Amino acid sequence: MNISEKAAYLKGLISGMEYDVNTKEGKLFAGIIDLLEDISLSVLDLEDETATLGEYVEELDHDLGELEEDCYNCDCCEDDDCDCCGDFEELKCPACGESIYLDPDAIPEDHLIVCPSCNREIEVKEEEAE
């Protein structure tokens, strides 16, 4: 029995008992049962949405796995003469120490880039860019 069925059972139970909903206690019980019914419907909606999002995340994970295989499992990159993946230069972020790989041809004219790890601006010196 799921949460919605349990709330419906309680609603039927109070109706079957012919409980007087005009008394203070009857109004309280009726209000609680109505609240439980609303909560159970909300929970069922959330469970459906969560299941849908879970399926979507699994699809994205699968697609990302394929992209990672395509990008990172290039057999020719084991050689130093690889030209298919671009010539990237490694730069260490002075703020967080993470490695950043730069395409020297794609550095902006102002020589400022943003570290993807800490979001701080880094000035790329001419000798680092070449």
pLDDT 10s digits, 58-70: 999 999 988 888 7
DSSP 124: P
Mean pLDDT over the full length of the chain: 84
> Predicted confidence band at 54 (pLDDT cuts at 50, 70, 90)?
very high
* pLDDT attached to residue 105: 77
Percent of the chain with pLDDT over 70: 85
> Predicted confidence band at 83 (pLDDT cuts at 50, 70, 90)?
low
Dihedral sign for Cα atoms in the order 45, 49, 54, 55? positive
Give residue 23's identity as a one-letter amino acid code: T
